Amino acid sequence: MLILGAYGLLSFGKIEARSNVYQWMNLVGAVGFIINCAWNAAWPSVALNVVWVGIAIYALHRNRKTA
């Protein structure tokens, strides 16, 4: 729900892609997917969401450096 919510908020102009809120929603949502997918042995989805988390962490780090 967090990733879908983040996408919806971004699409309707309620938040910006560079906002920490958007990045945190993606990060926490992806961690939830990692847990669920690992539980169900869906390893390709786990790998995809690990990358998703990495992108969110990089973006949060970038945002902190530019703030």
Flag residues of the chain having pLDDT under 70. 67
Residue that has been written with the tokens 């990692």 in this structure: 34
Distance of alpha carbon 34 from alpha carbon 47, whole angstroms: 8
| The predicted structure's pLDDT at residue 66 | 86
On whether the CB atoms of residues 35 and 41 are closer than 8 A, the answer is no
| The predicted structure's pLDDT at residue 33 | 97
| The predicted structure's pLDDT at residue 47 | 98
